[in-house]
Amino acid sequence: MMSNKNAKGFIIVNKNKESDNVHHFCDDTIVNESLKVIAKGTGIILIGTVTGSVLAALFPIIIARFYSPTEFGVYALAITVFFFLVQISSLGLGDGCSRNIAFYRGKRDYDKVKKIITSSFEIVIISGVAANILLFLSADWISYTVFNNEALVAPLRILSFAVPFWILITMIISVFRGFDQTKENVYFSHLLTEGGKILFVTPVVILAFSFVYIFYAFVANVIMVFTVAFFYFKRKIPRELKEKTLNGSKPSAGSVKKDLLFF
């Protein structure tokens, strides 16, 4: 605190320095708290990503160890086709959804945010089911014409049922990413997905089931992860979605879907 005297001898108190000190203290506190949050989030992401990577590497090792090289090749081809179809049927909505959610959150237009989320799920459900049907019906053609390998037919047909569930999982992760939350990607993409594959394939290996049951285990795991992600989403839905928009806008479904597909 600084003070000086005026012409009449009264003491004038200058609080500018004290006020600046308070502001600097508050700013430092906010920065420190932010750094703690960032460090904690980074730690979770690092541990989860490393653990998921180890589990992801372990799964093909198990298949190579307990099944023939030919069967391992079939697995690699089937998974490649599966993820290729997932990428196409996702329509790039993951990035579009996250971007639009973040954009309209900044405008506090929560009606638009809600519409973006519902429209995203509507689109991927339709595209996912369509991809499921397409892969199931074209499994023969892909196996015989493209790869000249009849052993691919059954795996592709089994994996087709996992396509819509996998896309929905990625969409749930994208919604949380639009709200600046990244730990859900670690939970569902790394830990649950990769850990679940090991969990489901272990009984198949121990009980010496035939090779095709590897794909049943894969699909069962995807459905399990989706179930957990769905209930997590219902429980952890961002509070902002419960708020009312400031401008009261009622966006049309068509305009929202156009923004999502052509962001």
Structural domain contains residue 4: no
Structural domain contains residue 82: yes
Q: Residue 141 — very low, low, confident or very high, per pLDDT cuts 50/70/90?
A: very high
Residue with tokens 């121990």: 206
**pLDDT for 113 beyond 90:** no
* Rounded-to-10 torsion of CA 247, 251, 256, 257: 160
Q: Residue 81 — very low, low, confident or very high, per pLDDT cuts 50/70/90?
A: very high
HEC profile of the chain:
CEEEECCCCCEEEECHHHHHHHHHHHHHHHHHHHHHHHHHHHHHHHHHHHHHHHHHHHHHHHHHHHCCHHHHHHHHHHHHHHHHHHHHHHCCHHHHHHHHHHHHHHCCCHHHHHHHHHHHHHHHHHHHHHHHHHHHHHHHHHHHHHCCCHHHHHHHHHHHCCHHHHHHHHHHHHHHHHCCCCHHHHHHHHHHHHHHHHHHHHHHHHCCCCCCHHHHHHHHHHHHHHHHHHHHHHHCCCHHHHCCCCCCCCCCHHHHHHHHHCC
Q: How confident is the model over 77-98, as a mean pLDDT?
A: 91
**pLDDT for 26 beyond 50:** no
Angle value at C-alpha 121, between 119 and 123, nearest 5 degrees: 70
**pLDDT for 2 beyond 60:** no
Contacts of 40 (CB under 8 A, 6+ apart): none
Least confident of 9-23, 123-137, 171-185, 248-262: 9-23
Structural domain boundaries, residue 201:
12-261
Q: How confident is the model over 18-24, as a mean pLDDT?
A: 49
Question: In the prediction, which pLDDT does 173 show?
Answer: 92
Structural domain contains residue 83: yes
Structural domain contains residue 94: yes
Residues 156/207, Cβ–Cβ less than 8 Å: no
Q: How confident is the model over 187-194, as a mean pLDDT?
A: 88
Structural domain contains residue 1: no
Question: In the prediction, which pLDDT does 78 show?
Answer: 96
Q: Residue 246 — very low, low, confident or very high, per pLDDT cuts 50/70/90?
A: very low
Structural domain contains residue 7: no
Q: What percent of the chain has pLDDT over 70?
A: 74
Contacts of 111 (CB under 8 A, 6+ apart): 244, 245, 248, 249, 250, 251
pLDDT, averaged across the chain: 81
Structural domain contains residue 164: yes
Q: How confident is the model over 197-222, as a mean pLDDT?
A: 94
Structural domain contains residue 168: yes
Dump pLDDT digits (tens) for 149-190.
999 999 999 999 999 999 999 999 999 988 888 888 888 888
Provide the number of structural domains found in the chain: 1
